[in-house]
Amino acid sequence: KAGVTQTPRYLIKTRGQQVTLSCSPISGHRSVSWYQQTPGQGLQFLFEYFSETQRNKGNFPGRFSGRQFSNSRSEMNVSTLELGDSALYLCASGTESSTDTQYFGPGTRLTVL
Amino acid sequence: AQKVTQAQTEISVVEKEDVTLDCVYETRDTTYYLFWYKQPPSGELVFLIRRNSFDEQNEISGRYSWNFQKSTSSFNFTITASQVVDSAVYFCALSEAETDSWGKLQFGAGTQVVVTP
């Protein structure tokens, strides 16, 4: 069974631009969660989607948004990029339970110049 | 407030030594889950083990073992006979079974393990 895939793997943007990251979960998984990893703040939860609905959201500004499609694929968007948005963005997929094991993708490394 | 604390920033060992990683968590839930993940230099978080709050039985899986003690809110992880390929950052994570915690893992700061030949 294929794992979680994320595209692109690397991205360079400039301040003020916007970016869209994509995540395809493991086949049969309906939950997709997004995390931001930075050296200063560590791993932080962004949001989780299940059956095209956002179920939970972390403490991030409204510039961070996401959505999920009917095939469970998810996209994350960051508008008006700031230097501090440079990070590794990890996507995880799970089945249905809030406490199910989440399996992570390889991440998208975003650099904002 | 930090709910998962990994006090060890970095541990360096020589191959074949055992490595024990400490994790202390904080929660008011009676039902919760604890996880250990490994992050090699490639960046992907690799799932290692999972334990629920109702099962304090400690187990061994290959070279991995864990010690879950609710009385001290600790969930320690041991790698036996370490190998160079074990070099990575190890994260302890907590998932609380509240309805507003869907899909939310709360991670510790991570412990860098360096295994030298």
pLDDT tens per residue, range B9-50? 999 999 999 999 999 999 998 889 999 999 999 899 999 999
Task: Report how far residue B55's alpha carbon sits from residue B104's, in angstroms, rounded to the nearest whole number.
Answer: 21
Task: Report how far residue B93's alpha carbon sits from residue B103's, in angstroms, rounded to the nearest whole number.
Answer: 12
pLDDT tens string A22-34: 999 999 999 999 9
Contact at CB, A45 and B105, closer than 8 angstroms? yes
Instruction: Say if residue B52's pLDDT is above 80.
Output: yes
What is the structure's pLDDT at B100?
Answer: 66
Contact at CB, A33 and B103, closer than 8 angstroms? yes
Q: How many A×B Cβ pairs under 8 Å?
A: 72
Chain B residue numbers with beta carbons less than 8 Å from the beta carbon of A48 are 102-104
Task: Provide the β-strand partners of residue B47.
Answer: B37
Instruction: Say if residue A3's pLDDT is above 70.
Output: yes
How many C-beta neighbours within 10 Å does residue A47 have? Answer: 24
Q: Is the dihedral of CA A110, A111, B4, B8 positive or negative?
A: positive
Tell me which residue in A43, A48, A90 faces B103 most closely, judged by beta carbons: A48
Contact at CB, B103 and A56, closer than 8 angstroms? yes
pLDDT tens string B79-116: 999 999 999 999 999 998 876 677 889 999 999 999 99
What is the structure's pLDDT at A60?
Answer: 97
Tell me which residue in A31, A90, A99 faces B45 most closely, judged by beta carbons: A90
Instruction: Say if residue B58's pLDDT is above 90.
Output: no
Instruction: Say if residue A2's pLDDT is above 90.
Output: no
Task: Provide the β-strand partners of residue A75.
Answer: A22, A67
What is the structure's pLDDT at B2?
Answer: 72
